[in-house]
Amino acid sequence: MTLLFLLFLAAIPQSDADRLTAAFEAARESVVAATAQDPAPAIGLAVRVGSEERAWAWGWADVEERRAATPETRFRLASVSKSFTGVTAALLWEEGVLDLDAPIQQYLPDFPRHEEGEITARLLGGHLSGIPHYGADDHFEPGTYHCVKDGLRVFAHRPLAHAPGSKYMYSSYGFNLLGATVEAASGTEFRELLRARLFDPLGMDGVIAEHPDTDLGEVASLYRNLLGEVVELPRDEVSYKWPGGGFVAKPRDMVRYARAFDEDGPVLTPKTRALMRTSQKTPDGRETSYSLGLNVGEHFGHFAFAHGGSQTGAKSYFVIFPEQRVAVAICANHSNSGVGDGKAVWRAAGILLEALVDQAAGGSPAKQ
């Protein structure tokens, strides 16, 4: 338990509402302290315990315009976007629409086959497919990406990095291919599919797929360090990789997303949640701690989902403790921000979990 949280506990009144309010404030203060020297002009934070959520933002969404960040500011999610693709694949699998273990050419017959073995949706969702990550041989054609299949041209020509299923190797392009597979299997355009199956049912009204022609509304500008100065970056095109890292959102959207993993939550059934909790394995039986677009494992003695993201002018991280109904999400608008390592998020989540323990010990179960 952190010293900060102990100090807050000393002043916590006895009502459940007051305990929860104090815990939220302690979590926020822990992140403020952890990011005090962070180079990001703006940081957004959201937390959730049971049915209660809070969101804050501080700093400048745009430095030159002196536009302050607010809880309504959207940030790039970067690779956190992968979890949307993985969850949607799981939904289609349970409905019998997508066979996770069939060759992807069953859905994308024009995608090249490889003599090393068959690529499946399950392997793509677990970074086991052999599809390479970013490389010098990628073929970029800015302005030509209008659907997920368009983005396959960037890497479809490249050889596999290893035989499918033989080893774990992180690959954003693998998720681009999974997104195209999901779209083809469902017969619904990828962005519309995610909106209908995830974003709308969960109240995630701030999520937008980034595209040069799309109005992103209240969105944070992008920054990095250069020669000791914080400089603004042009918004590079990420529409070729929506499934692997192409969405912007408010941090609040991500803690609302956590509701899908509740035992009685919307969207996911027990069977789908069980699949999402299960780590994939390498051929030697070692768990990868990754299911379908989410890191899975135990933290603070409880099962948790997590994922981080890193992209031009952005870092992000979120965690979900489904049994405790606790979630924390953080975003920053700087390539060199430290929030992407997840330490501040895990610290805040630990404070909220401690509050639930204290609340239960006080004789009143946590409001969930």
Question: Where would I find the H helices in 154-206?
Answer: 172-186, 190-194
**Residue 163 within a domain:** yes
- Within-domain flag for 142: yes
Q: Checking phi first, is residue 32 left (phi over 0); if not, alpha (psi -120 to 50) or beta?
A: alpha
Q: Is residue 115 part of a domain?
A: yes
Average pLDDT over residues 118-143: 95
Task: Tell me the pTM.
Answer: 0.93
Residue 361 has what pLDDT? Answer: 61
Residue among 355, 362, 344, 352 nearest 35 (CA): 344
- 54 DSSP β-pair partners: 47
Looking at residue 239, which CATH number applies to its domain? 3.40.710.10
Residue 367 lies in a domain: no
* pLDDT at site 315: 98
How many domains does the structure of the chain reveal? 1
Q: Is the Cβ–Cβ distance between 280 and 126 less than 8 Å?
A: yes
Does the residue 43 lie in any domain?
yes
**12 falls within a domain:** yes
Q: Is the pLDDT of residue 359 over 80?
A: no
The residue range of the domain holding 31 is: 3-361
Is the residue at 276 inside a domain?
yes
Q: Domain for residue 368, yes or no? A: no
Percent of all residues in the chain with a pLDDT value above 70, rounded to a whole number? 93
Predicted pLDDT of residue 14: 55
pLDDT band at 83 (very low <50, low <70, confident <90, very high): very high
Position 12 scores a pLDDT of 46
* pLDDT single digits (tens) 150-189: 999 999 999 999 999 999 999 999 999 999 999 999 999 9
Q: Examine the pLDDT at 331 and tell me if it is beyond 70.
A: yes
Residue 309 has pLDDT above 90, yes or no: yes
Q: What is the pLDDT of residue 16?
A: 78
